[in-house]
Amino acid sequence: MNTSDPGERAPREFRVSYSTGQPARSDQPLNNTFGLTGEGKLVLDHGALVFEGTRSGFTLTGKPRIALADVANVDYNAASSAFLIRTRDGRHYIIVWLASREDAEALWAQLPQEKTPEFIADQAAHERFGKAMSELGGRSLVTPAIIAINVAVFIVMLFAGADLMNPNPAVHIRFGSNFGPLTWTGEEWRLLTSAFLHFGLVHIALNMYALYQGGGLVERLFGSTRFAVIYLLSALSGSVASGCWDPLRNSAGASGAIFGVYGALLAFLAVRRVDIPPTMLKSISSSALLFCLYSLVIGAAHPLIDNACHIGGLLGGFVSGVILARPFTPEARAVPQPVKLLVAVLVVVLPLAWLAQPLTAESGSKSASLRFERDLQTFDQAEAEIVHRQADILTFPPNARVNRLEIAQRLRREVLDPWRAASRPLLQATTLPQDGSHSSRKQQAIRDYLRARESAIELRALAYESGDLNDEARAIQAEQQLGKTLNVVNVLARE
């Protein structure tokens, strides 16, 4: 054993590489904490390790330096001549590959080989965790299945008319997006189907990447069945939260469920922290929290991002994760616990039902507003066709002979009667409280517009039938009034 003082040795240089191979530990995704890449040198100089190299293509000023006295818990892989060098306090680490086996053995002989008690305990925890992962076996099945379903639905929607990059509200509503006026008036299934729809390529790419990054681990921690329950409960929680925050919003995407996946991960780390190696616990917790906080901040800065859905999904996933977390051992997995699954469903679903009650209560003003918006959605489809038909009837070739009586009859039969039938549900709907809200003003403006167009059609038919100039003047006046009411509707639509 060499007992000489390392500080008295002459400096020695080793050619090393900082950027080949893989990290020695799963909790260390980078090769070093100094940003060193490519080829470089390790200099053993006066009791310290000095690392020379480049970072992002630029030469470092102030070479990273670690005193040998601060080095502990070194890993040496003789087969690849690689070292994982750590500081005693765990703040820094660096992986280096030496140019030759001889250099590696020479460096190993001069490095401290102490293993701290904390490190030994962490290694044992890693071994236990790895053994449990191996004994549980298999791969995550639900996560790739969910990704495949989302991608398949996205492709089908493209063939149905959805744009590759931009939202197409009509197509998304048809496929089951969370559109409040339909969701809360009898189509509650949209609360789940909306989690499998996406508004363009960027939307689905970001969501599926986030699910791929976290879903596999969370599925292994909880088991596939529990993971599927957590995912669906999170999707449901996100959709309900979105509807409660903005009942008229047209929402879609897997992000609420994905936030729930990360919420469940945080719950497992909190409830079953003894099952996770300490360094892995710290790394995963930090990554999960950073993902959630960063995503919520970005969502707060962009009004088109549905942060209510994100928060609802996160809470739903965390709550269900707390209930469904169990020891990460094959023995615990072997015991079925259907009661816990039922408890998780009830604990999440019952509060959601209570939150949604104002949106579904028949006598409530919110419910009345949603039913009016639902009828308006149906009416919009009929309106375009009726207005187009009127334009066709009143369009004549130059110098064509016009049968005024036939035109009047067609206007009444093909335009006026369908218009009355289409507008009847909106005119007969529950009148919203006249409190100056946007919904009440919108309802009144639309009703004024419906009556104005009905009057304009009726008077235009009468003018063609009678040929009287007074009737023509009344028809023109009614059409001018129609234009004014339509302008009011358009202004309110932009608010």
112 backbone dihedrals φ, ψ, rounded to 5°: -60, 135
Q: What is the C-alpha separation between 478 and 454, in angstroms, rounded? A: 9
Closest to 52 (Cα-Cα) out of 84, 18, 80:
18
Q: What is the C-alpha separation between 97 and 14, in angstroms, rounded? A: 10
Indicate whether 243 pLDDT > 50.
Answer: yes
Catalytic residue among 17, 251, 255, 295: 255
Q: Which of 173-182, 198-207, 274-283 has the lowest average pLDDT? A: 274-283
Catalytic residue among 172, 198, 203, 310: 310
Residue 405 in tokens: 């009586």
Sign for the pseudo-dihedral over CA of 322, 270, 220, 191: positive
Question: pLDDT category, 6, cuts 50, 70, 90?
Answer: very low
Indicate whether 306 pLDDT > 60.
Answer: yes
Question: pLDDT category, 152, cuts 50, 70, 90?
Answer: very high
Pairing of strands 65-67, 71-77: unpaired
Q: Which of 111-125, 194-208, 408-422, 457-471 has the lowest average pLDDT? A: 111-125
The strand ranges marked E within 201-301 are 250-251
Q: What is the C-alpha separation between 276 and 263, in angstroms, rounded? A: 17
Q: What is the C-alpha separation between 426 and 375, in angstroms, rounded? A: 6
Question: pLDDT category, 56, cuts 50, 70, 90?
Answer: low
Q: Percentage of residues in the chain with pLDDT exceeding 90?
A: 63
Indicate whether 434 pLDDT > 60.
Answer: yes
Residue-range domain boundaries for the chain: 6-115, 142-360, 365-494
Q: What is the C-alpha separation between 241 and 257, in angstroms, rounded? A: 12
What value does the mean pLDDT take over residues 157-176?
91
Angle between helices 255-271 and 201-222 (to 10 degrees): 30
To 5 degrees, how large is the angle CA 216–CA 217–CA 221?
120
For 254, 291, 448, the CA distances from 239, given in Å and listed in that order, are 10, 20, 34
Indicate whether 124 pLDDT > 90.
Answer: no
Predicted local confidence at residue 30, as pLDDT: 65
Pairing of strands 65-67, 58-59: unpaired
CATH topology of domain 142-360: Rhomboid-like fold (1.20.1540)
Closest to 18 (Cα-Cα) out of 55, 72, 49, 73:
55
Chain-wide mean pLDDT for the chain?
Answer: 89
Asked if the domains 6-115 and 142-360 are classified in one and the same CATH topology, the answer is no
What value does the mean pLDDT take over residues 375-385?
90
Question: pLDDT category, 61, cuts 50, 70, 90?
Answer: low
CB atoms within 10 A of CB 219: 25
Indicate whether 209 pLDDT > 70.
Answer: yes
Sign for the pseudo-dihedral over CA of 151, 154, 159, 165: negative
Predicted local confidence at residue 24, as pLDDT: 44
CA 458 to chain centre: 50
CB 394 within 8 A of CB 407: yes
User: Three-state SS across 191-219?
Assistant: HHHHHHCCCCHHHHHHHHHHHHHHHHHHH
What residues contact 324, with CB distance under 8 A and at least 6 apart?
Answer: 222, 226, 229, 230, 264, 340, 341, 344
Whether 310 is catalytic: yes
Predicted local confidence at residue 3, as pLDDT: 44
CB 261 within 8 A of CB 142: no
What value does the mean pLDDT take over residues 172-189?
94
CB 67 within 8 A of CB 37: no
Environment class of 325 (CB within 10 Å of its CB; exposed 0-12, middle 13-18, buried 19+): buried
pLDDT one-digit tens code per residue, 129-149: 888 888 887 778 999 999 999
Closest to 78 (Cα-Cα) out of 42, 115, 104, 109:
104
CA 129 to chain centre: 30
Indicate whether 277 pLDDT > 80.
Answer: yes
CB atoms within 10 A of CB 315: 19
Q: Which residue has the tokens 């197409």?
A: 168
DSSP letters of 430-467? PPPP-SS-HHHHHHHHHHHHHHHHHHHHHHHHHHHHH-
CB 210 within 8 A of CB 310: no
For 127, 220, 221, 276, 396, the CA distances from 132, given in Å and listed in that order, are 9, 10, 10, 11, 81
Predicted local confidence at residue 23, as pLDDT: 46
Whether 437 is catalytic: no
Question: pLDDT category, 29, cuts 50, 70, 90?
Answer: low
Predicted local confidence at residue 224, as pLDDT: 93
Claim: this prediction has a pTM higher than 0.85? no
Residue 308 in tokens: 């209510």
Q: Which of 115-129, 138-152, 341-355, 438-452 has the lowest average pLDDT? A: 115-129
Q: What is the C-alpha separation between 60 and 50, in angstroms, rounded? A: 12
Alpha helices, DSSP H, located in 361-413: 365-393, 404-410
Q: Which of 23-27, 230-234, 416-420 has the lowest average pLDDT? A: 23-27
Give the DSSP letter of residue 60.
P
CATH topology of domain 6-115: PH-domain like (2.30.29)
Predicted local confidence at residue 271, as pLDDT: 94
Predicted local confidence at residue 2, as pLDDT: 43
The residue with greater pLDDT, 491 or 21, is 491
Indicate whether 20 pLDDT > 60.
Answer: no
CB 184 within 8 A of CB 367: yes
The dihedral region occupied by 62, where left means phi > 0, alpha psi between -120 and 50, and beta the remainder, is left
